[in-house]
A and B are shown apart, each in its own frame.
Chain A
């Protein structure tokens, strides 16, 4: 109690030592994991891109021609003094700290393995700063347009390559007859029925699908000569996609614009793929790559040009390409020693090898194809099974009575299944899919079924959480409108829960793509020299191949080739996650 009522009354201090210690501890705990992973990734990147051999001059050239213009573009787009000041400060102070610090450490006699101060500067300052200015740049209109275009270029390329990989195990000629006799007539009839509001035509369209499918399957072995693959893709993919874009654009704007956009897509696809193929008939990969890129970019360009805002942003891809070319030219001109990266185009396209002396020739193509196909099948299977189970448990079972007990039992079991080690799932796959059902040793079918079972508990639990978080108000509202339970689930619950469901599936797929133990158990090939021809042939997958290489006696394999493999795996995983996140955000914005 204060005995004097003067103004300099004093409060006693309350000790916060424990709280502060706890805060520091939690902060440390959250940072440790990220730091460890970041360090690993730095070393993987150094190995995969052979940055150890990069001379300071080489780094400086590209820093000046590529990084500085990029940062400049982002700062211009952000258009904020504070951001610019912070960026410049970080770049200059970071340079000083790295140069002085690392030199001092080295002078003290402790070598930092495979890193010099230039590389340290690259990883500790340049990369984070680039990330920061990228985020700041996307806030501005110019940057939004530029990164939108860049994203669509990459997204289109990824999409095209993905379709290409899927078609490797898909019978192209089968697809040709199915498309011609079944898909096309169905779509034409249903569209005509919609347009003329003629019920009969729509029904005829729906009948045409199975009939045409049957005809196609019967005709497939009978027909002896087929058009070339190029023509098939032109007829079944390029034309319909251009037509679809024409229709969609025409619906939004007018017929002329629609025709213009659709024709541009087709033209850019053809011109681009012929140009890439050097004037000859382009290969499938080139055609699909260009199709993906042109579809996304042309529609985007149309939108941007129409709104007429931030047009300078469209120069971003040109800026980057020009920077890379100028850098390459300068490096060649001055004869600066350049790194010889393990991760390059020939690695991605090449055939694997484990021969000690041929590390430079090692490629990764068959495992990439294997993993992409497996993960595509796993995505479909686990999504259907996971969402189905979750909907059943959340929407269709009651909490009481016999059904209630069964669903509680299921619930407990699913929670426990999530904790079963993956090698046990491998055993299950071996026993059930390979031996009992005879789906074959190491085929894509048995692998994707096994992996789907492995991640099923995770997808089910996250989908359940998402469905449970849909307010019951909405369910009641729908039921009170005279909707059946199925209509309520389909129209209200699932769309509302979809972002959460997708988040869970993305996380689960990330786990599935890196699993090795179950693949070993079901007899996946360690090494495959050519990509699989269909889903029943023996596959190899990326983690299997990386594991195999990591056992090699040659350090070139253990460091260079493995690092390049890890980079590929991470890139594919990131692309996959990014596309899933984009779809999820679309859903969230749509609601």
Chain B
């Protein structure tokens, strides 16, 4: 097999880099890790990762399968607590507070950090109840105008126009792309500070994917978005900063997206982005 032809064809020539970096001021850091190690039993999934994730920007994480990017994401809102064998070392701070401190309640933490999963997972409830779920379980439903909040969340998720006359319909009756936007609406309804997205478009077709991407762009005006993706063009299109993980849970490079895609410092990153491996 001719190595060169394959890599030629995979080279991402049409990468468009998000160039409208109008933010001149240095953004504040919202999530910061120092020497973070995560183990599943004996296996190390994250290896000494240190990074500072800026507020109100889109940070993308790319890397081959099994490189620990999802694990990293799930460490931020302590969803890894669900896995018995998972062990976290090092520090991971959210607004300066280590989230793995004993006095941090993971439930309270997750109320400030929303999450969207790879597979759309709306609850088998009506669209309205899906979006209102966060407000209800967080005890905010009585203090706010629930109808207005549901509408706001659905509008932010660019779903309102498609479902406004069928809010009683089950969330499961929507198409895959609509379901994922419903999940995004659900995540932003309680107004979290950070939204984590674990390959939110990987189970969707290109049209639905582009809708989700537009949405993420809009969301970044209000929220901090941390997104894991397999798709390098996607990372290039939507993110302000990009982190590249490689096998073994090692963070190889973390910088402005433009720099990563145009002039990466590490040879391995260049190889990965141009498709030489991974």
A482 CA / B121 CA spacing, docked (Å) = 15
Within 8 A of B (CB), among A455-491: 471, 473-484, 487, 491
Q: A471-B121, A481-B137, A482-B134 are in contact. Are A591 and B108 (CB under 8 A)?
A: no
Known A398-B84, A399-B84: A483·B107 in contact at CB below 8 Å: yes
CB-based contact A482/B107 at 8 Å: yes
**A496 and B124 form a contact (CB under 8 A):** yes
* Nearest B residue (CB) for A197: B142
A94 located at the interface, meaning its Cβ lies under 8 Å from any Cβ of chain B in the complex: no
Q: Mark B104-139, 1 if CB is under 8 A from A, else 0.
A: 000110111011010101111100000001100110
B170 is an interface residue with CB less than 8 A from chain A? yes
* Chain A minimum-CB-distance residue to B120: A473
- Which of these binds chain A: B55-63, B151-159, B183-191, B220-228? B183-191
Q: How far is the CB of A477 from chain B (nearest CB, A)?
A: 4
Contact of B110 among A398, A471, A475, A481 (CB under 8 A): A481
Contact residues in A for B190 (Cβ distance below 8 Å): 481-482
Please state if A492 and B138 are interface contacts (CB–CB under 8 Å).
no
Among A400, A477, A492, point to the contact of B183 (Cβ < 8 A). A477
Q: B5 at the A/B interface (Cβ < 8 Å)?
A: no
Q: Does B75 contact A (CB under 8 A)?
A: no
Contacts of B84 in A (CB 8 A): 398-400
The residues of B that contact A471 with a CB separation of less than 8 Å are: 121
Check A510 for interface membership: any CB of B closer than 8 A: no
| A259 sits at the interface (CB 8 A) | no
Q: What chain A residues lie within 8 Å of B115 (beta carbons)?
A: 480
Given known contacts A481-B137, A481-B186, A482-B138, A476 and B107 CB-to-CB distance under 8 angstroms? no
Residues of A close to B124: CB separation below 8 A: 474, 495-496, 591
Given A479-B107, A481-B111: 13 more A-B contacts, CB < 8 Å: A399-B84, A400-B85, A475-B82, A477-B117, A477-B122, A480-B117, A480-B187, A481-B114, A481-B190, A482-B107, A491-B123, A491-B133, A495-B124
> Does B265 sit at the interface, judged by CB under 8 A?
no
Identify the A interface with B (CB < 8 A). Answer: 398-400, 471, 473-484, 487, 491-492, 495-496, 591
The distance in angstroms between the C-alpha atoms of A491 and B123, with both chains bound, is: 9
- Contact present for B121 and A477 (CB under 8 Å): yes
Q: Say what secondary structure dominates the interface of chain A.
A: helix
Whether B79 and A479, one on each chain, are in contact in the complex, defined by CB atoms closer than 8 angstroms, is yes
Write out the residue numbers on chain A whose beta carbons fall within 8 Å of the beta carbon of B110.
479-482
CB distance from B28 to the nearest CB of A (A): 23
**A481→B187 contact, CB < 8 A:** yes
Q: Are A481 and B82 in contact (CB under 8 A)?
A: no
Docked CA distance A482–B113 (Å): 8
Least CB distance from B264 to A in Å reads: 32
Contacts A474-B123, A495-B124 given; does A480 touch B79 at CB 8 Å: yes
Q: State whether the Cβ of B239 lies closer than 8 Å to any Cβ in chain A.
A: no
Given contact pairs A481-B110, A482-B107, A491 touches B137 in the complex (Cβ within 8 A): yes
Contacts of B123 in A (CB 8 A): 474, 477-478, 491-492
Q: Does B77 contact A (CB under 8 A)?
A: yes
Tell me how far the C-beta of B141 lies from the nearest C-beta in chain A, rounded to whole angstroms. 12
Given contacts A471-B121, A482-B190, contact A476 B137 (CB under 8 A): no
Q: How far is the CB of A120 from chain B (nearest CB, A)?
A: 49
User: Closest Cβ of chain B: how far from A463's Cβ, in Å?
Assistant: 18
CB-CB < 8 A to A491: which residues of B? 123, 133, 137
In the complex, what residue of chain A is closest to B183 when comparing beta carbons?
A477
Hey, which chain A residues are within 8 Å of B111, CB to CB?
481-482
A347 to chain B, nearest CB (A): 46
Contacts A471-B121, A492-B123, A496-B124 given: A480-B114 contact, CB under 8 Å? Answer: yes
Q: How far is the CA of A169 from the CA of B138 in the complex (A)?
A: 44
Tell me if A591 and B121 are in contact (CB < 8 A).
no
What chain A residues lie within 8 Å of B107 (beta carbons)? 479, 482-484
For A473, list chain B residues within 8 Å (CB). Answer: 117, 119, 121
> In the complex, A165→B183 CA distance in Å?
48
A255 to chain B, nearest CB (A): 22
Residue among B82, B85, B117, B122 with most chain A CB within 10 A: B82
CB nearest neighbor in A for B170 = A591
Query: 16 A–B contact pairs at CB < 8 A?
Result: A399-B84, A476-B117, A479-B79, A480-B77, A480-B110, A480-B187, A481-B133, A481-B138, A481-B190, A482-B111, A482-B138, A491-B133, A492-B123, A495-B124, A496-B124, A591-B172
Q: Lowest 6 CB-CB distances: which A-B pairs, in order?
A: A482-B111, A591-B124, A480-B115, A473-B121, A483-B137, A482-B110
The smallest beta-carbon distance between A403 and chain B, in angstroms, is 10
CB distance from B180 to the nearest CB of A (A): 12
Taking A398-B84, A400-B84, A591-B124 as contacts, is the C-beta distance between A478 and B117 under 8 angstroms? no
Contacts of B125 in A (CB 8 A): 591
Chain A residues, Cβ within 8 Å of B82: 475-476, 479
Cα A476 to Cα B121 in complex, Å, equals 9
Q: Which residues of B contact A477 (CB under 8 A)?
A: 117, 121-123, 183, 186
Nearest chain A CB to B187's CB is how many angstroms away?
7
- Chain A residues whose CB sits within 8 angstroms of the CB of B119 once the complex forms: 473
Q: Give Cα A399 to B84, complex, Å.
A: 8
Bound: A482/B195 CA distance, A: 13
- Within the complex, what minimum Cβ distance (angstroms) separates A511 from chain B? 30
State A538–B119 Cα separation when bound (angstroms): 58
Closest to A475 in B: B82
Bound-state Cα–Cα, A474 to B114, Å: 15
Partner of A478, one of B77, B85, B133, B170: B133
By a CB distance below 8 angstroms, the chain B residues around A475 are 82
Output the residue of A478, A480, A487, A591 with the most chain B CB within 10 A: A480
What's the minimum C-beta distance from B39 to chain A, rounded to whole angstroms?
A: 14
Q: What is the CA–CA distance of A484 and B170 in the complex, to the nearest angstrom?
A: 23
**Which residue of B has the minimal Cβ distance to A399?**
B84
- CB-CB < 8 A to B187: which residues of A? 480-481
Q: Which of B172-221 contact A (CB under 8 A)?
A: 172, 183, 186-187, 190
User: Do B133 and A476 have beta carbons less than 8 Å apart?
Assistant: no
Give the docked Cα–Cα distance between A474 and B121 (Å).
Answer: 6
Cα distance, A195 to B79, chains bound together (Å)? 40
Q: Which B residues lie within 8 Å of A481 (CB)? A: 110-111, 114, 133-134, 137-138, 186-187, 190
Complex formed: what's the CA distance from A477 to B185 in Å? 13
Q: How far, in angstroms, from A412 to B37 measured CA to CA in the complex?
A: 37
Minimum CB–CB distance for A29 against chain B, Å: 37
CA distance A473 to B79 in the complex (A): 12
Q: From residue 67 to 108 of chain B, which have CB atoms closer than 8 A to chain A?
A: 77, 79, 82, 84-85, 107-108
Assembly CA distance A479 to B172 (angstroms)? 19
Most chain B CB within a 10 A radius of its CB, from A478, A479, A591: A479
Task: Find out whether the CB atom of A487 lies under 8 angstroms from the CB atom of B79.
Answer: no
- Chain B residues with CB below 8 A from A483, complex form: 107, 133, 137
> What are the residues of chain A within 8 A of B133 when measuring CB–CB?
478, 481, 483, 491
Q: Which residues of B contact A480 (CB under 8 A)?
A: 77, 79, 110, 114-115, 117, 187
Cα-based distance from A591 to B129 in the complex (angstroms): 12
Bound complex: CA A178 to CA B267 (Å): 80
Chain B residues contacting A479 (CB-CB under 8 Å) are 79, 82, 107, 110
Q: Nearest Cβ in chain B — how far from A377, in angstroms?
A: 32
Taking the closest CB of chain B, its distance from the CB of A16, in whole angstroms, is: 42
Q: How far is the CA of A412 from the CA of B13 in the complex (A)?
A: 60
Shortest CB distance B124–A (Å): 4
In the complex, the chain A residue whose C-beta lies closest to that of B142 is A199
For the complex, give the distance between the alpha carbons of A476 and B172 in Å: 17
> How far apart are the CA atoms of A462 and B111 in the complex, in Å?
34
